[in-house]
A and B are shown apart, each in its own frame.
Chain A
Protein backbone atom coordinates (compact mmCIF):
# COMPACT_ATOMS: atom_id res chain seq x y z
CA UNK A 1 0.00 0.00 0.00
CA UNK A 2 1.26 3.47 -0.87
CA UNK A 3 1.27 5.98 1.99
CA UNK A 4 -0.96 8.39 0.00
CA UNK A 5 -3.75 5.78 0.09
CA UNK A 6 -4.12 6.12 3.87
CA UNK A 7 -6.99 7.99 5.46
CA UNK A 8 -6.16 10.58 8.13
CA UNK A 9 -7.02 8.19 10.95
CA UNK A 10 -4.91 5.39 9.43
CA UNK A 11 -2.01 7.76 8.82
CA UNK A 12 -2.30 9.05 12.40
CA UNK A 13 -1.79 5.53 13.72
CA UNK A 14 1.09 4.83 11.34
CA UNK A 15 2.79 8.14 12.22
CA UNK A 16 2.34 7.65 15.96
CA UNK A 17 3.66 4.08 15.75
CA UNK A 18 6.70 5.36 13.82
CA UNK A 19 5.88 3.03 10.92
CA UNK A 20 5.83 6.05 8.68
CA UNK A 21 7.24 9.57 8.82
CA UNK A 22 5.38 12.67 7.72
CA UNK A 23 8.18 13.27 5.20
CA UNK A 24 7.50 9.86 3.65
CA UNK A 25 3.77 10.46 3.64
CA UNK A 26 4.14 13.97 2.22
CA UNK A 27 6.64 12.81 -0.42
CA UNK A 28 4.24 10.05 -1.39
CA UNK A 29 1.45 12.64 -1.95
CA UNK A 30 3.79 14.94 -3.88
CA UNK A 31 4.84 11.99 -6.05
CA UNK A 32 1.19 11.14 -6.60
CA UNK A 33 0.49 14.75 -7.62
CA UNK A 34 3.33 14.52 -10.16
CA UNK A 35 1.92 11.34 -11.63
CA UNK A 36 -1.83 12.09 -11.79
CA UNK A 37 -2.32 15.86 -11.76
CA UNK A 38 -1.80 16.07 -15.52
CA UNK A 39 -4.99 14.00 -15.72
CA UNK A 40 -7.16 15.44 -12.94
CA UNK A 41 -5.82 19.03 -12.86
CA UNK A 42 -6.61 19.67 -9.21
CA UNK A 43 -3.81 22.06 -8.34
CA UNK A 44 -3.31 25.73 -9.10
CA UNK A 45 -0.09 25.70 -7.08
CA UNK A 46 1.92 22.95 -5.41
CA UNK A 47 3.98 24.15 -2.45
CA UNK A 48 6.45 21.30 -2.40
CA UNK A 49 9.32 22.98 -0.56
CA UNK A 50 7.16 24.43 2.21
CA UNK A 51 5.30 21.11 2.50
CA UNK A 52 8.51 19.17 3.08
CA UNK A 53 9.64 21.71 5.68
CA UNK A 54 6.30 21.38 7.45
CA UNK A 55 6.62 17.59 7.26
CA UNK A 56 10.06 17.68 8.88
CA UNK A 57 8.77 19.96 11.61
CA UNK A 58 5.86 17.54 12.14
CA UNK A 59 8.26 14.61 12.40
CA UNK A 60 10.11 16.44 15.16
CA UNK A 61 6.87 17.02 17.04
CA UNK A 62 5.92 13.38 16.66
CA UNK A 63 9.33 12.28 17.92
CA UNK A 64 8.86 14.47 20.98
CA UNK A 65 5.70 12.70 22.01
CA UNK A 66 2.21 14.10 21.93
CA UNK A 67 1.40 15.32 18.40
CA UNK A 68 -1.96 16.98 17.67
CA UNK A 69 -4.44 14.79 15.73
CA UNK A 70 -3.72 16.45 12.37
CA UNK A 71 0.06 16.70 12.88
CA UNK A 72 2.02 15.57 9.82
CA UNK A 73 -1.08 15.03 7.65
CA UNK A 74 -0.92 16.44 4.07
CA UNK A 75 -3.84 18.66 3.01
CA UNK A 76 -4.83 20.75 0.04
CA UNK A 77 -6.67 24.06 0.38
CA UNK A 78 -9.22 25.62 -1.91
CA UNK A 79 -7.51 28.64 -3.41
CA UNK A 80 -9.75 31.14 -1.64
CA UNK A 81 -8.31 30.46 1.81
CA UNK A 82 -5.64 33.03 2.55
CA UNK A 83 -2.20 31.54 3.06
CA UNK A 84 0.57 33.79 4.29
CA UNK A 85 3.26 34.07 1.62
CA UNK A 86 1.49 31.71 -0.80
CA UNK A 87 -0.48 33.02 -3.77
CA UNK A 88 -4.24 32.91 -3.26
CA UNK A 89 -5.99 33.40 -6.61
CA UNK A 90 -9.62 32.58 -5.91
CA UNK A 91 -9.56 31.08 -9.41
CA UNK A 92 -9.56 34.61 -10.83
CA UNK A 93 -7.26 36.57 -13.06
CA UNK A 94 -7.93 39.60 -10.87
CA UNK A 95 -6.12 37.89 -7.94
CA UNK A 96 -3.55 36.04 -10.05
CA UNK A 97 -0.62 37.54 -8.12
CA UNK A 98 -2.22 38.10 -4.72
CA UNK A 99 0.03 36.94 -1.89
CA UNK A 100 -1.82 37.30 1.42
CA UNK A 101 0.14 38.77 4.33
CA UNK A 102 -1.77 36.56 6.79
CA UNK A 103 -3.27 33.09 7.21
CA UNK A 104 -6.99 32.40 7.36
CA UNK A 105 -8.07 31.21 10.82
CA UNK A 106 -8.62 27.66 9.55
CA UNK A 107 -5.15 27.64 7.98
CA UNK A 108 -3.68 28.93 11.23
CA UNK A 109 -5.51 26.13 13.06
CA UNK A 110 -4.20 23.44 10.70
CA UNK A 111 -0.65 24.81 10.90
CA UNK A 112 -0.98 25.09 14.66
CA UNK A 113 -1.61 21.34 14.73
CA UNK A 114 1.48 20.70 12.62
CA UNK A 115 -0.44 19.86 9.44
CA UNK A 116 1.24 19.87 6.04
CA UNK A 117 -0.15 21.97 3.17
CA UNK A 118 0.78 20.50 -0.21
CA UNK A 119 -0.88 23.17 -2.33
CA UNK A 120 -3.83 25.26 -3.40
CA UNK A 121 -6.54 23.74 -5.53
CA UNK A 122 -8.80 24.75 -8.39
CA UNK A 123 -12.23 26.31 -8.01
CA UNK A 124 -14.77 28.30 -9.95
CA UNK A 125 -13.78 31.96 -10.00
CA UNK A 126 -14.81 33.48 -6.64
CA UNK A 127 -16.62 30.18 -5.94
CA UNK A 128 -19.30 31.03 -8.48
CA UNK A 129 -20.19 27.92 -10.40
CA UNK A 130 -21.13 24.28 -10.12
CA UNK A 131 -18.45 22.61 -12.24
CA UNK A 132 -15.14 24.43 -11.59
CA UNK A 133 -15.09 25.20 -15.32
CA UNK A 134 -15.07 28.91 -14.40
CA UNK A 135 -11.50 28.64 -13.08
CA UNK A 136 -9.06 30.99 -14.78
CA UNK A 137 -6.08 28.65 -14.36
CA UNK A 138 -6.89 24.96 -14.53
CA UNK A 139 -10.07 22.94 -14.82
CA UNK A 140 -10.26 19.81 -12.68
CA UNK A 141 -11.64 16.69 -14.25
CA UNK A 142 -13.71 13.96 -12.66
CA UNK A 143 -11.23 11.23 -11.64
CA UNK A 144 -13.91 8.56 -12.16
CA UNK A 145 -14.57 9.38 -15.81
CA UNK A 146 -12.52 11.47 -18.24
CA UNK A 147 -14.42 14.34 -19.86
CA UNK A 148 -16.87 14.67 -16.98
CA UNK A 149 -17.03 17.58 -14.58
CA UNK A 150 -15.64 17.41 -11.05
CA UNK A 151 -18.44 19.60 -9.75
CA UNK A 152 -17.90 22.89 -8.03
CA UNK A 153 -17.09 25.26 -6.83
CA UNK A 154 -14.68 23.26 -4.61
CA UNK A 155 -13.87 20.98 -7.57
CA UNK A 156 -10.11 20.87 -6.97
CA UNK A 157 -10.65 20.01 -3.32
CA UNK A 158 -12.83 17.06 -4.35
CA UNK A 159 -10.53 15.78 -7.10
CA UNK A 160 -7.37 16.15 -5.01
CA UNK A 161 -8.94 14.00 -2.28
CA UNK A 162 -10.64 11.50 -4.62
CA UNK A 163 -7.50 11.05 -6.74
CA UNK A 164 -5.49 10.64 -3.53
CA UNK A 165 -3.13 13.56 -4.11
CA UNK A 166 -3.57 14.51 -0.46
CA UNK A 167 -5.45 13.02 2.48
CA UNK A 168 -8.07 15.73 2.82
CA UNK A 169 -8.93 19.26 1.76
CA UNK A 170 -10.70 22.34 3.00
CA UNK A 171 -13.30 23.85 0.71
CA UNK A 172 -16.08 26.37 1.07
CA UNK A 173 -19.82 26.01 0.52
CA UNK A 174 -22.10 28.92 -0.36
CA UNK A 175 -24.83 26.94 -2.12
CA UNK A 176 -23.50 23.38 -2.22
CA UNK A 177 -19.90 23.97 -3.23
CA UNK A 178 -18.53 21.35 -0.82
CA UNK A 179 -21.34 18.78 -0.92
CA UNK A 180 -21.92 18.77 -4.68
CA UNK A 181 -18.31 18.12 -5.85
CA UNK A 182 -17.92 15.63 -2.98
CA UNK A 183 -20.95 13.79 -4.33
CA UNK A 184 -19.81 13.89 -7.95
CA UNK A 185 -16.30 12.70 -7.03
CA UNK A 186 -17.21 10.07 -4.43
CA UNK A 187 -15.80 11.64 -1.27
CA UNK A 188 -17.28 12.92 2.01
CA UNK A 189 -18.05 16.65 2.15
CA UNK A 190 -19.38 18.52 5.16
CA UNK A 191 -20.76 22.04 5.25
CA UNK A 192 -20.90 22.95 8.94
CA UNK A 193 -23.57 25.14 10.54
CA UNK A 194 -23.15 28.81 9.65
CA UNK A 195 -20.96 30.27 12.38
CA UNK A 196 -19.40 26.95 13.47
CA UNK A 197 -16.15 27.65 11.62
CA UNK A 198 -14.50 31.06 11.37
CA UNK A 199 -14.62 32.68 7.93
CA UNK A 200 -11.70 35.00 8.71
CA UNK A 201 -9.34 34.84 5.75
CA UNK A 202 -11.87 33.21 3.45
CA UNK A 203 -12.22 35.41 0.38
CA UNK A 204 -15.86 36.47 0.65
CA UNK A 205 -18.48 35.57 -1.94
CA UNK A 206 -21.83 35.81 -0.09
CA UNK A 207 -21.09 36.52 3.55
CA UNK A 208 -24.40 35.34 5.00
CA UNK A 209 -24.11 31.97 3.22
CA UNK A 210 -20.38 31.11 3.01
CA UNK A 211 -19.02 28.40 5.27
CA UNK A 212 -15.71 26.48 5.29
CA UNK A 213 -15.71 22.71 5.64
CA UNK A 214 -13.74 19.51 5.02
CA UNK A 215 -13.65 17.11 2.06
CA UNK A 216 -12.30 13.75 3.17
CA UNK A 217 -12.04 10.13 2.08
CA UNK A 218 -14.20 8.81 4.87
CA UNK A 219 -16.54 9.93 7.63
CA UNK A 220 -14.06 9.43 10.48
CA UNK A 221 -11.69 11.88 8.79
CA UNK A 222 -14.53 14.38 8.43
CA UNK A 223 -15.11 14.26 12.18
CA UNK A 224 -11.38 14.64 12.85
CA UNK A 225 -11.26 17.69 10.61
CA UNK A 226 -14.28 19.22 12.33
CA UNK A 227 -12.46 18.86 15.64
CA UNK A 228 -9.55 20.72 14.09
CA UNK A 229 -11.32 23.70 12.51
CA UNK A 230 -14.41 24.50 14.60
CA UNK A 231 -14.74 27.29 17.10
CA UNK A 232 -15.47 30.91 17.85
CA UNK A 233 -13.02 33.44 16.49
CA UNK A 234 -13.03 37.05 17.58
CA UNK A 235 -11.90 38.03 14.08
CA UNK A 236 -15.17 36.72 12.59
CA UNK A 237 -18.04 38.43 14.38
CA UNK A 238 -20.51 35.95 12.83
CA UNK A 239 -18.75 32.93 14.32
CA UNK A 240 -20.77 31.53 17.17
CA UNK A 241 -19.77 30.90 20.79
CA UNK A 242 -20.94 27.32 20.97
CA UNK A 243 -19.46 24.32 22.73
CA UNK A 244 -17.38 22.16 20.43
CA UNK A 245 -18.00 18.45 20.96
CA UNK A 246 -15.49 15.75 20.09
CA UNK A 247 -17.08 14.95 16.74
CA UNK A 248 -15.37 11.54 16.51
CA UNK A 249 -17.46 10.40 19.49
CA UNK A 250 -20.57 10.66 17.31
CA UNK A 251 -19.36 7.78 15.13
CA UNK A 252 -21.15 4.80 16.57
CA UNK A 253 -22.89 1.88 14.95
CA UNK A 254 -26.69 1.75 15.07
CA UNK A 255 -29.36 4.35 14.41
CA UNK A 256 -31.83 3.41 17.11
CA UNK A 257 -33.77 6.40 18.36
CA UNK A 258 -32.86 8.59 15.38
CA UNK A 259 -35.72 9.90 13.25
CA UNK A 260 -34.79 10.32 9.58
CA UNK A 261 -37.03 12.64 7.56
CA UNK A 262 -37.76 12.22 3.87
CA UNK A 263 -38.87 15.44 2.18
CA UNK A 264 -41.14 14.57 -0.75
CA UNK A 265 -40.21 17.86 -2.46
CA UNK A 266 -36.64 16.58 -2.97
CA UNK A 267 -37.81 13.54 -4.91
CA UNK A 268 -39.79 15.29 -7.62
CA UNK A 269 -39.55 15.87 -11.32
CA UNK A 270 -36.08 15.81 -12.86
CA UNK A 271 -34.60 13.35 -10.39
CA UNK A 272 -32.48 10.80 -12.23
CA UNK A 273 -33.59 7.18 -11.68
CA UNK A 274 -30.18 5.91 -10.72
CA UNK A 275 -29.84 8.67 -8.12
CA UNK A 276 -33.30 7.84 -6.74
CA UNK A 277 -32.38 4.15 -6.44
CA UNK A 278 -29.16 4.91 -4.56
CA UNK A 279 -30.99 7.19 -2.11
CA UNK A 280 -33.73 4.62 -1.56
CA UNK A 281 -31.11 2.03 -0.76
CA UNK A 282 -29.48 4.43 1.73
CA UNK A 283 -32.84 4.98 3.43
CA UNK A 284 -33.21 1.22 3.71
CA UNK A 285 -29.73 0.93 5.25
CA UNK A 286 -30.61 3.49 7.92
CA UNK A 287 -33.89 1.71 8.59
CA UNK A 288 -32.00 -1.59 8.90
CA UNK A 289 -29.68 0.12 11.38
CA UNK A 290 -32.67 0.98 13.56
CA UNK A 291 -33.63 4.47 12.41
CA UNK A 292 -37.24 5.54 12.30
CA UNK A 293 -38.19 6.87 8.87
CA UNK A 294 -40.72 9.70 8.73
CA UNK A 295 -42.19 11.85 5.97
CA UNK A 296 -41.51 15.58 6.25
CA UNK A 297 -42.38 18.53 4.09
CA UNK A 298 -40.26 21.48 2.94
CA UNK A 299 -42.96 23.25 0.94
CA UNK A 300 -40.86 26.21 -0.23
CA UNK A 301 -38.15 24.10 -1.86
CA UNK A 302 -39.16 25.16 -5.36
CA UNK A 303 -38.38 28.80 -4.51
CA UNK A 304 -34.85 28.18 -3.20
CA UNK A 305 -33.02 28.69 -6.48
CA UNK A 306 -34.68 32.05 -7.10
CA UNK A 307 -34.04 33.24 -3.53
CA UNK A 308 -30.47 32.04 -3.61
CA UNK A 309 -29.45 33.65 -6.87
CA UNK A 310 -30.84 37.00 -5.76
CA UNK A 311 -29.33 36.99 -2.26
CA UNK A 312 -25.98 35.43 -3.20
CA UNK A 313 -25.58 37.76 -6.18
CA UNK A 314 -26.57 40.82 -4.15
CA UNK A 315 -24.00 40.02 -1.47
CA UNK A 316 -21.40 39.18 -4.13
CA UNK A 317 -21.89 42.47 -5.95
CA UNK A 318 -21.16 44.25 -2.71
CA UNK A 319 -18.24 42.02 -1.63
CA UNK A 320 -16.58 42.20 -5.03
CA UNK A 321 -16.70 45.99 -5.16
CA UNK A 322 -13.31 45.89 -3.42
CA UNK A 323 -11.57 44.62 -6.56
CA UNK A 324 -10.72 47.96 -8.07
CA UNK A 325 -7.03 47.62 -8.85
CA UNK A 326 -5.91 49.98 -6.08
CA UNK A 327 -4.44 48.01 -3.17
CA UNK A 328 -3.98 44.47 -4.47
CA UNK A 329 -4.58 42.24 -7.44
CA UNK A 330 -4.57 42.97 -11.12
CA UNK A 331 -4.63 46.57 -12.35
CA UNK A 332 -5.08 47.79 -15.89
CA UNK A 333 -2.05 50.06 -16.26
CA UNK A 334 -3.19 51.91 -19.39
CA UNK A 335 -6.18 53.78 -18.00
CA UNK A 336 -5.69 57.51 -17.66
CA UNK A 337 -8.41 58.36 -15.17
CA UNK A 338 -9.26 56.68 -11.89
CA UNK A 339 -12.77 55.67 -13.02
CA UNK A 340 -11.38 54.20 -16.23
CA UNK A 341 -8.85 52.28 -14.19
CA UNK A 342 -11.63 50.77 -12.08
CA UNK A 343 -13.64 49.89 -15.16
CA UNK A 344 -10.80 48.43 -17.22
CA UNK A 345 -9.40 46.53 -14.25
CA UNK A 346 -12.73 44.92 -13.40
CA UNK A 347 -13.75 44.27 -17.00
CA UNK A 348 -10.46 42.55 -17.86
CA UNK A 349 -9.97 40.89 -14.48
CA UNK A 350 -13.34 39.20 -13.92
CA UNK A 351 -14.70 36.29 -15.92
CA UNK A 352 -18.14 35.98 -17.44
CA UNK A 353 -20.01 34.26 -14.59
CA UNK A 354 -18.67 36.71 -12.02
CA UNK A 355 -19.76 39.66 -14.15
CA UNK A 356 -23.20 38.11 -14.59
CA UNK A 357 -23.68 37.78 -10.84
CA UNK A 358 -22.38 41.26 -10.17
CA UNK A 359 -24.95 42.56 -12.67
CA UNK A 360 -27.82 40.54 -11.16
CA UNK A 361 -26.81 41.62 -7.66
CA UNK A 362 -26.36 45.27 -8.54
CA UNK A 363 -29.73 45.25 -10.26
CA UNK A 364 -31.47 43.51 -7.33
CA UNK A 365 -30.06 46.11 -4.92
CA UNK A 366 -30.60 49.14 -7.13
CA UNK A 367 -33.06 51.87 -6.42
CA UNK A 368 -36.57 50.93 -7.50
CA UNK A 369 -35.88 47.19 -7.55
CA UNK A 370 -34.67 46.57 -4.00
CA UNK A 371 -38.12 45.74 -2.60
CA UNK A 372 -39.17 43.60 -5.56
CA UNK A 373 -36.01 41.50 -5.58
CA UNK A 374 -33.68 41.64 -2.58
CA UNK A 375 -36.31 42.26 0.08
CA UNK A 376 -38.73 39.75 -1.42
CA UNK A 377 -36.00 37.10 -1.57
CA UNK A 378 -35.02 37.80 2.05
CA UNK A 379 -38.65 37.34 3.12
CA UNK A 380 -38.96 34.03 1.30
CA UNK A 381 -35.70 33.05 2.99
CA UNK A 382 -37.59 33.35 6.29
CA UNK A 383 -40.26 30.97 4.96
CA UNK A 384 -37.54 28.47 3.97
CA UNK A 385 -35.97 28.72 7.43
CA UNK A 386 -39.40 28.07 8.97
CA UNK A 387 -39.85 25.01 6.73
CA UNK A 388 -36.75 23.47 8.30
CA UNK A 389 -37.77 24.47 11.81
CA UNK A 390 -41.11 22.74 11.32
CA UNK A 391 -39.54 19.65 9.73
CA UNK A 392 -37.10 19.22 12.62
CA UNK A 393 -40.02 19.04 15.05
CA UNK A 394 -40.64 15.54 13.74
CA UNK A 395 -37.18 14.36 12.66
CA UNK A 396 -33.51 14.60 13.69
CA UNK A 397 -32.08 14.76 10.20
CA UNK A 398 -33.24 14.90 6.59
CA UNK A 399 -32.02 12.54 3.89
CA UNK A 400 -32.10 13.34 0.19
CA UNK A 401 -30.04 13.29 -3.00
CA UNK A 402 -27.24 15.89 -3.27
CA UNK A 403 -27.78 16.58 -6.95
CA UNK A 404 -30.59 15.50 -9.28
CA UNK A 405 -28.09 13.68 -11.56
CA UNK A 406 -24.57 12.22 -11.42
CA UNK A 407 -21.71 14.24 -12.97
CA UNK A 408 -22.30 15.53 -16.49
CA UNK A 409 -20.03 16.13 -19.47
CA UNK A 410 -17.82 19.17 -19.49
CA UNK A 411 -19.31 22.10 -21.38
CA UNK A 412 -22.85 20.74 -21.11
CA UNK A 413 -24.31 23.94 -19.66
CA UNK A 414 -22.19 26.45 -21.57
CA UNK A 415 -24.21 29.54 -22.44
CA UNK A 416 -27.18 28.53 -20.29
CA UNK A 417 -26.51 29.84 -16.78
CA UNK A 418 -30.05 29.18 -15.54
CA UNK A 419 -29.77 25.45 -16.34
CA UNK A 420 -26.60 25.41 -14.26
CA UNK A 421 -28.25 27.26 -11.37
CA UNK A 422 -31.13 24.78 -11.34
CA UNK A 423 -28.73 21.87 -10.76
CA UNK A 424 -28.09 23.35 -7.28
CA UNK A 425 -31.72 23.01 -6.22
CA UNK A 426 -31.13 20.39 -3.50
CA UNK A 427 -28.14 21.96 -1.75
CA UNK A 428 -28.78 25.70 -1.55
CA UNK A 429 -31.51 25.67 1.05
CA UNK A 430 -29.05 24.52 3.73
CA UNK A 431 -27.05 27.71 3.16
CA UNK A 432 -30.14 29.89 3.20
CA UNK A 433 -31.18 28.30 6.50
CA UNK A 434 -27.61 28.18 7.90
CA UNK A 435 -27.97 24.49 8.79
CA UNK A 436 -25.28 21.81 8.41
CA UNK A 437 -25.28 19.48 5.40
CA UNK A 438 -23.16 16.48 4.56
CA UNK A 439 -22.58 14.44 1.42
CA UNK A 440 -21.48 10.82 1.77
CA UNK A 441 -20.92 8.32 -1.08
CA UNK A 442 -24.00 6.16 -1.64
CA UNK A 443 -23.28 4.24 -4.81
CA UNK A 444 -22.43 4.48 -8.49
CA UNK A 445 -24.32 5.02 -11.72
CA UNK A 446 -24.17 2.37 -14.45
CA UNK A 447 -21.52 4.57 -16.08
CA UNK A 448 -19.33 4.29 -13.00
CA UNK A 449 -19.97 7.81 -11.72
CA UNK A 450 -20.29 8.32 -7.95
CA UNK A 451 -23.65 9.26 -6.43
CA UNK A 452 -23.76 10.92 -3.00
CA UNK A 453 -26.37 11.02 -0.27
CA UNK A 454 -27.18 14.32 1.41
CA UNK A 455 -27.92 14.54 5.12
CA UNK A 456 -29.10 17.84 6.59
CA UNK A 457 -29.61 18.55 10.28
CA UNK A 458 -30.70 21.29 12.68
CA UNK A 459 -28.28 24.07 13.61
CA UNK A 460 -25.15 22.75 15.37
CA UNK A 461 -26.22 19.11 15.00
CA UNK A 462 -23.28 18.01 12.81
CA UNK A 463 -22.88 15.02 15.14
CA UNK A 464 -26.12 13.36 14.07
CA UNK A 465 -25.14 13.81 10.42
CA UNK A 466 -21.74 12.24 11.07
CA UNK A 467 -23.37 9.36 12.91
CA UNK A 468 -25.81 8.66 10.06
CA UNK A 469 -23.07 9.03 7.46
CA UNK A 470 -20.89 6.65 9.43
CA UNK A 471 -23.66 4.06 9.42
CA UNK A 472 -24.18 4.52 5.68
CA UNK A 473 -20.46 4.08 5.12
CA UNK A 474 -20.53 0.83 7.11
CA UNK A 475 -23.39 -0.38 4.90
CA UNK A 476 -21.97 0.66 1.51
CA UNK A 477 -18.27 0.08 2.28
CA UNK A 478 -17.55 3.04 0.02
CA UNK A 479 -15.08 4.83 2.31
CA UNK A 480 -11.64 5.64 0.86
CA UNK A 481 -12.26 4.34 -2.66
CA UNK A 482 -9.70 5.15 -5.32
CA UNK A 483 -10.71 5.66 -8.96
CA UNK A 484 -8.70 3.85 -11.58
CA UNK A 485 -6.37 6.59 -12.78
Chain B
Protein backbone atom coordinates (compact mmCIF):
# COMPACT_ATOMS: atom_id res chain seq x y z
CA UNK B 1 0.00 0.00 0.00
CA UNK B 2 1.32 3.45 -0.97
CA UNK B 3 -1.13 5.31 1.23
CA UNK B 4 -3.16 4.16 4.21
CA UNK B 5 -6.69 5.09 5.10
CA UNK B 6 -5.34 6.94 8.11
CA UNK B 7 -3.06 9.04 5.91
CA UNK B 8 -5.95 9.89 3.59
CA UNK B 9 -7.94 10.96 6.61
CA UNK B 10 -5.06 13.19 7.70
CA UNK B 11 -4.63 14.74 4.25
CA UNK B 12 -8.39 15.33 4.00
CA UNK B 13 -8.23 17.12 7.31
CA UNK B 14 -5.34 19.32 6.09
CA UNK B 15 -7.42 20.16 3.02
CA UNK B 16 -10.49 20.90 5.18
CA UNK B 17 -12.56 18.12 3.66
CA UNK B 18 -14.89 15.80 5.54
CA UNK B 19 -15.04 12.21 4.31
CA UNK B 20 -17.65 9.59 5.12
CA UNK B 21 -16.39 6.08 5.87
CA UNK B 22 -17.44 4.95 2.43
CA UNK B 23 -15.81 7.93 0.72
CA UNK B 24 -12.58 7.36 2.66
CA UNK B 25 -12.46 3.77 1.57
CA UNK B 26 -13.01 4.57 -2.09
CA UNK B 27 -10.56 7.49 -2.10
CA UNK B 28 -7.88 5.41 -0.36
CA UNK B 29 -8.13 2.75 -3.07
CA UNK B 30 -8.07 5.30 -5.90
CA UNK B 31 -5.24 7.36 -4.42
CA UNK B 32 -3.26 4.19 -3.86
CA UNK B 33 -3.62 3.26 -7.55
CA UNK B 34 -2.63 6.76 -8.67
CA UNK B 35 0.35 7.04 -6.30
CA UNK B 36 1.57 3.59 -7.31
CA UNK B 37 1.43 4.73 -10.92
CA UNK B 38 3.40 7.92 -10.31
CA UNK B 39 6.16 5.85 -8.71
CA UNK B 40 7.17 5.38 -12.34
CA UNK B 41 9.13 8.62 -11.92
CA UNK B 42 11.61 6.81 -9.67
CA UNK B 43 12.93 5.05 -12.78
CA UNK B 44 14.58 8.35 -13.69
CA UNK B 45 17.77 9.64 -12.16
CA UNK B 46 17.22 13.34 -11.46
CA UNK B 47 20.05 14.28 -9.12
CA UNK B 48 21.23 17.76 -10.00
CA UNK B 49 18.32 18.48 -12.39
CA UNK B 50 16.88 21.95 -11.76
CA UNK B 51 13.13 21.75 -11.14
CA UNK B 52 10.84 23.66 -13.54
CA UNK B 53 8.01 25.54 -11.86
CA UNK B 54 7.14 27.69 -14.87
CA UNK B 55 7.77 27.09 -18.57
CA UNK B 56 9.22 30.60 -18.71
CA UNK B 57 11.16 32.10 -15.92
CA UNK B 58 9.88 35.61 -15.51
CA UNK B 59 11.58 37.32 -12.63
CA UNK B 60 10.05 40.10 -10.63
CA UNK B 61 7.23 41.61 -12.68
CA UNK B 62 7.50 45.05 -11.13
CA UNK B 63 5.10 47.92 -11.64
CA UNK B 64 4.77 51.41 -10.23
CA UNK B 65 2.88 51.62 -6.95
CA UNK B 66 0.05 53.81 -8.16
CA UNK B 67 -3.36 54.34 -6.67
CA UNK B 68 -5.95 52.88 -9.02
CA UNK B 69 -9.66 52.48 -9.04
CA UNK B 70 -10.84 49.38 -7.22
CA UNK B 71 -14.13 47.70 -6.44
CA UNK B 72 -16.55 49.57 -4.21
CA UNK B 73 -17.35 47.99 -0.84
CA UNK B 74 -20.82 47.18 -2.12
CA UNK B 75 -19.46 45.37 -5.19
CA UNK B 76 -16.84 43.55 -3.17
CA UNK B 77 -19.46 42.29 -0.72
CA UNK B 78 -22.06 41.47 -3.35
CA UNK B 79 -21.16 37.78 -3.58
CA UNK B 80 -20.81 37.31 0.17
CA UNK B 81 -22.91 34.44 1.50
CA UNK B 82 -23.36 36.47 4.70
CA UNK B 83 -22.39 40.12 5.00
CA UNK B 84 -23.51 43.12 7.02
CA UNK B 85 -22.86 45.91 4.55
CA UNK B 86 -19.34 46.54 5.84
CA UNK B 87 -17.78 43.13 6.26
CA UNK B 88 -18.22 39.42 5.65
CA UNK B 89 -19.81 37.66 8.60
CA UNK B 90 -18.51 34.27 9.74
CA UNK B 91 -19.31 32.05 12.73
CA UNK B 92 -17.91 33.28 16.03
CA UNK B 93 -14.21 32.49 16.48
CA UNK B 94 -13.59 33.56 20.06
The residues of A with any CB-CB pair to B shorter than 8 Å are 97-99, 101-102, 194-195, 208, 234, 237-238, 240, 300, 302-303, 305-307, 309-310, 317, 321, 324-331, 333, 335-344, 346-347, 350, 355-356, 358-360, 362-363, 366, 373, 375-383, 385, 417-418, 421, 432-435, 459
Chain B residue contacts of A346, Cβ below 8 A: 15-17
Main secondary structure of the interface of B (DSSP, over half): loop
Chain A residue contacts of B82, Cβ below 8 A: 331, 333
Shortest Cβ gap from B32 to chain A (Å): 10
Q: Are B76 and A417 in contact (CB under 8 A)?
A: no
| Residue of chain B at shortest CB distance from A358 | B15
Q: Are A325 and B81 in contact (CB under 8 A)?
A: yes
Chain B residue contacts of A333, Cβ below 8 A: 81-82
Q: B67 interface residue, CB < 8 Å from A? A: no
A362–B9 CA distance with the chains assembled, in angstroms: 12
Q: Are B91 and A306 in contact (CB under 8 A)?
A: no
The residues of B with any CB-CB pair to A shorter than 8 Å are 3, 7-8, 11-12, 14-19, 27, 30-31, 33-35, 37-38, 40-42, 44, 46, 49-56, 58, 61, 63, 71, 75-76, 78-82, 88, 90-93
| Residue of chain B at shortest CB distance from A315 | B53
Q: Are A327 and B88 in contact (CB under 8 A)?
A: yes
Q: Are A379 and B51 in contact (CB under 8 A)?
A: yes
Q: Are A359 and B49 in contact (CB under 8 A)?
A: no
Shortest Cβ gap from B58 to chain A (Å): 6
Chain B residue contacts of A331, Cβ below 8 A: 81-82
Chain B residue contacts of A97, Cβ below 8 A: 79
Shortest Cβ gap from A83 to chain B (Å): 14
| Residue of chain A at shortest CB distance from B58 | A238
Q: Are B49 and A379 in contact (CB under 8 A)?
A: yes
Q: Are B34 and A360 in contact (CB under 8 A)?
A: yes
Which of B18, B52, B54, B56 contacts A344 (CB under 8 A)? B18
| 22 CB < 8 A contacts A-B | A101-B71, A208-B53, A238-B54, A240-B58, A310-B38, A321-B15, A331-B81, A331-B82, A343-B16, A343-B18, A347-B18, A347-B19, A363-B7, A377-B41, A379-B51, A382-B51, A383-B44, A383-B49, A385-B55, A432-B52, A433-B55, A435-B55
Chain A residue contacts of B92, Cβ below 8 A: 337-338
A245–B64 CA distance with the chains assembled, in angstroms: 28
A375–B42 CA distance with the chains assembled, in angstroms: 12
Query: Taking A303-B40, A306-B41, A418-B37 as contacts, is the C-beta distance between A99 and B78 under 8 angstroms?
Result: yes
By Cβ-Cβ distance, the 4 closest A-B pairs, closest first, are A434-B55, A378-B51, A237-B61, A328-B79
Query: Taking A359-B27, A362-B11 as contacts, is the C-beta distance between A338 and B52 under 8 angstroms?
Result: no
A234–B75 CA distance with the chains assembled, in angstroms: 22
| Residue of chain B at shortest CB distance from A235 | B63
Q: Are B49 and A382 in contact (CB under 8 A)?
A: yes
Which of B17, B34, B80, B91 contacts A358 (CB under 8 A)? B17
A347–B80 CA distance with the chains assembled, in angstroms: 19
Q: Are B40 and A306 in contact (CB under 8 A)?
A: yes
Interface centre among A310, A335, A379, by most chain B C-beta atoms within 10 angstroms, is: A379
Q: Are B52 and A385 in contact (CB under 8 A)?
A: yes
A360–B35 CA distance with the chains assembled, in angstroms: 8
Q: Are B55 and A303 in contact (CB under 8 A)?
A: no
Query: Taking A303-B40, A382-B49 as contacts, is the C-beta distance between A309 and B16 under 8 angstroms?
Result: no
Interface centre among B34, B80, B82, by most chain A C-beta atoms within 10 angstroms, is: B34
A284–B14 CA distance with the chains assembled, in angstroms: 53
Chain B residue contacts of A330, Cβ below 8 A: 81
Q: Are A355 and B50 in contact (CB under 8 A)?
A: no
Q: Are A418 and B33 in contact (CB under 8 A)?
A: yes
Q: Are B75 and A101 in contact (CB under 8 A)?
A: yes
